[in-house]
Amino acid sequence: MMAEKRRLPYVTTLHGTDITLVGSDKSYLPITRFSIEQSDGVTAVSDFLRRETLSVIGARKEIRVIPNFVNCDLYRVPREAHPGRPRLLHISNFRPVKRAPDCVRILARVRQTADCELWMAGDGPDRGAAERLAFDLGVHEHVRFLGKQDHIERLIPQCDVLLLPSEMESFGLAALEGMACGVPPVATRVGGVPEVITHGEDGFLEAPGDIEAMAARPAALLTDRALYARMRWKARATAEERFCTSLVIPRYEAFYREVLEAA
């Protein structure tokens, strides 16, 4: 900042919390705006986040949209079906915005149609509330709280449907990782999620808090084998055709070269 000329240009990539936190705490706004304006290049992981940044921050900097990506060689559809009952999966940091207890409510309703269980991966402030709710709804024997996991790519293929009931997501990386493993996501129609999931083709999108609608989707997937097969392979195809590292990383590299040339 003090030097007349920096030796190296730098690029700022916006992932979501960096902007959504500013929306609720304006004390972050000046430094966030300063950082963006002083960057030689700025990227955002979704068009929603780009628009939100311009609206909340009031930045005049051009923001290039380059999505998150997934390693399609690491996250793969399993060769064989996993043993045991069908499984719903939720992965998050259990913050209130993730609405983790909704997954327990969804399970309770899905079990009226299909014998299944729920795996909850991660940890955070709402884990206790989700555990208590599982007991209150009488489904605690069908819920496994796994805590933090180091190898999500090994966990996802052991499940059948991924639940993402968040109040807000700037992209929805967990949904993409599930899609790459052929695990259809049932998510909320918020933020940048519709830029990842095409409703009815490679996943489902419903309104936040609509437990009945979000439960109906896994129930349909677990009881209609043709629907499930069609959607899981379409989900994998979406990951391969739009979000693989081999497609997205070159876009970052090209942008970095563009910034270097301009500098």
Distance separating alpha carbons of residues 96 and 125, to the nearest angstrom: 8
pLDDT tens digits along 130-147:
999 999 999 999 999 999
pLDDT tens digits along 164-193:
999 999 999 999 999 999 999 999 999 999
Q: Regarding the domain delimited by 11-67+244-262, which CATH topology (the fold level of the hierarchy) does it fall under?
A: Rossmann fold (3.40.50)
Which has the minimum average pLDDT: 24-33, 65-74, 167-176? 24-33
**Residue 69 DSSP one-character state:** -
Same fold: 11-67+244-262 with 87-243 = yes
Helix (H) or strand (E) holding 12: strand 11-14
Q: What is the pLDDT of residue 8?
A: 85
Q: What is the pLDDT of residue 198?
A: 98
- In the chain, where does DSSP find H-type helix? 17-24, 29-38, 47-57, 100-110, 127-136, 152-155, 173-180, 211-223, 225-238, 245-262
pLDDT tens digits along 220-237:
999 999 999 999 999 999
pLDDT top residue among 34 and 89 = 89
Alpha-carbon distances of 226 from 53, 95, 229, 230, 233, rounded to whole Å: 41, 35, 5, 6, 11
Domain 87-243 has CATH 3.40.50.2300: no
Domain boundaries, the chain: 11-67+244-262, 87-243
List, in order, residues 6 or more apart from 250 with CB less than 8 Å away: none
Q: What is the pLDDT of residue 3?
A: 57
